[in-house]
A and B are shown apart, each in its own frame.
Chain A
């Protein structure tokens, strides 16, 4: 934690304030996703978390990833979730029995996991300062995709095709 004080004069204050506000909103929204009694509200809180992640990508100078996040998650995945909710339940409003009988077991597991992760992160990266690099050029990203990551890129297009066909086959009537 001494690194926080040492780094204070070389730190971009506006960036940190924006990070803190967005992070607080995201944690609040994520807690709501896993605790709310209304499935539709959970989906809408998930939109807040995903938008917050996109904003954090912009703060981390990854604008292409941020735009992809908005397009894919908020545009497509959330629509899928809302379709899934509406096709699998008729009940609108509060719903009981959304949690397992042993749901309380999740709290110590999550707290223990967070504690362990936080300890490891602070131990390993406690002093590292993120440099001010400016936005990553999208050209560099596409150069990577079309050179050394070309084979995984083609593989993932096949995965997406297989997933689309599989989803249609699974969800088709009869």
Chain B
């Protein structure tokens, strides 16, 4: 199996996730796209771990999984708070801080 298989798949997932972050207006959908990006990165880490034979890549992938879990928890709590205060989670309507 070639290393580029995994790396190209991860690059495609990363690009799709970036598209989602740019295109989506709903905050929950943006969080989902961020999950796509994080998963692409950890797939890369595991592929490099297989390529070099060092297990550190898998350790890093587990750290990424833990950080992603924390990120989703805090992110969705923030989205819930915004929804409770504003009755919307459309990102382009949250523009009070715009100069």
Name A's B-contacting residues (CB within 8 A): 3-4, 7, 11-12, 15-16, 19, 23, 26-27, 30-31, 33-34, 39, 42-43, 46, 49-50, 53, 56-57, 59-62, 64-65, 68-69, 72-73, 76-77, 80-81, 83-85, 87-89, 97-107, 109-111, 113-114, 117-118, 121-122, 125-126, 128-131, 133, 136, 140-141, 144-145, 149, 152, 156, 159-160, 162-164, 166-168, 170-171, 173
B3 touches A130 (CB 8 A): yes
Given the known interface contacts A56-B6, A114-B11, the answer about A81 and B31 at a Cβ–Cβ threshold of 8 Å is yes
A60 touches B47 (CB 8 A): yes
How many residue-residue contacts, CB under 8 A, span A and B? 255
A100 touches B25 (CB 8 A): yes
Interface of B is mostly: helix
Given the known interface contacts A60-B50, A114-B11, the answer about A166 and B19 at a Cβ–Cβ threshold of 8 Å is no
Which listed residue (B3, B29, B42, B68) contacts A39, Cβ 8 A?
A: B29
Chain A nearest CB, measured from B19 CB (Å): 4
A33 touches B36 (CB 8 A): yes
A23 touches B39 (CB 8 A): no
A88 touches B89 (CB 8 A): yes
Which listed residue (B6, B62, B65) contacts A60, Cβ 8 A?
A: B6
Residues of chain B within 8 A (CB-CB) of A118 are 8, 11
Residues of chain A within 8 A (CB-CB) of B36 are 30, 33-34, 46, 49
Q: How far is the CA of A129 from the CA of B69 in the complex (A)?
A: 32
Chain B nearest CB, measured from A131 CB (Å): 7
Closest to A31 in B: B16
Residues of chain A within 8 A (CB-CB) of B28 are 39, 81, 84-85, 88
Chain B nearest CB, measured from A83 CB (Å): 7
